Amino acid sequence: MSESAHTPTHHVPVVIIGGGQAGLSVSWYLGRAGIEHLVVESQTPMHAWSDKRWDNFTLVTPNWHCRLPGYTYSGTDPDGFMTRDEVIEWLDGWLATFEPPMRTHTSVTRLRQPGSDAFELTMTGPTGEQVLTCDQVVVATGGYPIPVIPPYAASLNPAVTQIHSEQYRNADQLPDGAVLVVGTGQSGAQIAEDLHLAGREVHLAVGNAPRVARTYRGRDCMTWLSDMGLYDIAAQQYPGGKAAQEKTNHYVTGRDGGRDIDLRRFALEGMHLYGHLAGGKDSALQFAPTLTDSLDKADTVYNSICVDIDRYIDDNCIEAPEPGRYQPVWQPDSEPTELDLDTAGITAIVWAIGYRPDYRWIEASAFDGAGRPMQTRGATQIRGLSFVGLPWMHTWGSGRFLGIDRDARHVAESIGAALGRPELRLASGQ
């Protein structure tokens, strides 16, 4: 890099890195207060919704959860679940209500604080490399951007197509034959369902994700949980503490108006279930004997949430249909621990085992041993460095449409206070 590229070209009071709904929500509040800032986006605004969602994707939270600054869902189906394309259209409608100062197709490759005050950002875009400085930085690049693929995946039969869940679009994308889906978080369970409904033979490696009823006693479970205040409890006070926050989200679907995802029912319909995928080489895979335990634990969580809702209904004297409990419709006869891909006719694997953080481009002591930001409501111990859009940043609602506005407003207000602009707090209350 030339010496001139090291010289900052200009200074902006606030830079927001990431042009998704979280970063743009902070921009909305800063813009309302007249605070000069810049949003830097590596691709295009909200690109993940079109680039990293499969064709039949739907929200798993009811449409009424969809709230962004100055903008809420106003359609005719508040208790329904928008499809991917409907979410994109809704977000486009929000973007049309304001004009964020944004630089697209520009990546921040380095963030550092060479002195005691200003940050220095190195950016690469259509016009080459540029350096600028700022007083406040908000990192809104998403909680976990790097797809996880296990190291032994490279040793499997190269004739088998392997993709991560974020690359999956539809069943026709994959070669003819059976498909192995690994992981039963929200993406894995729904992709397994998508393939199953498309008539594909599906093998599913079941993880430790819990599940939840779609509707219970006449209402969506997530509506009950919202009324119960679970999405508003601060992370520090949440029952179960850090262990509860580390758990994978409950699997359920909004497809076709919303319904449960019952892996036991899938098994009755011909889906092949296994425990945790422990490893593999060439065409031979090994599974841990965890299937029965994983299914039982998921159902226990399902029923425990129903118990909590029952208690809330009774305590508040709410009229509702009679309570019930899930009863297993299928039990595994054995615990399969081996699978030969060739013998089973499996031609594709979809890895749905999550993502990991990647903040190597940030030169700051703001991360724990796992590389995750150490933050409280977005603020770190590095003065002027904030995050937004993280799971559990403040509550269970953080990172979801339901909690983005509140989190972004708090971060923006903190920035306003640091810059000596108290009017931001007044702007957020309008």
User: Is residue 251 a contact partner of residue 186, using CB atoms and an 8 Å limit?
Assistant: yes
Residue 244: predicted pLDDT: 61
CA torsion 366→369→373→379, rounded to 10°?
-50
Map tokens 């509040």 to a residue. 29
Residue 410: burial class (beta carbons within 10 Å; 0-12, 13-18, 19+) = buried
pLDDT above 90 covers a percentage of the chain that reads: 85
Token pair, residue 123, equals 């950016």
**329, 313, 217, 320: which is closest to 271 by C-alpha?**
329
Across 356-383, average pLDDT: 93
Across 174-189, average pLDDT: 97
Q: Are strands 128-139 and 385-387 parallel, antiparallel or unpaired?
A: parallel
User: Is residue 397 a contact partner of residue 229, using CB atoms and an 8 Å limit?
Assistant: no
| Residues composing the chain | 430
Map tokens 């813009």 to a residue. 31
Distance from C-alpha of 101 to C-alpha of 41, rounded to nearest angstrom: 11
Q: Are strands 338-340 and 272-274 parallel, antiparallel or unpaired?
A: unpaired
SS3 state at 120: strand
Residue 358, pLDDT above cutoff 60: yes
User: Distance from first CA to last CA of the chain, Å, rounded?
Assistant: 47
pTM of the model: 0.93
Distance from C-alpha of 50 to C-alpha of 85, rounded to nearest angstrom: 8
Angle ∠(290,292,298) on CA atoms, nearest 5: 95
pLDDT single digits (tens) 14-73: 999 999 999 999 999 999 999 999 999 999 999 999 999 999 999 999 999 999 999 999
User: What are the structural domains, with CATH classification, of the chain?
Assistant: 3-143+357-428 (3.50.50.60), 146-355 (3.50.50.60)
pLDDT single digits (tens) 34-48: 999 999 999 999 999
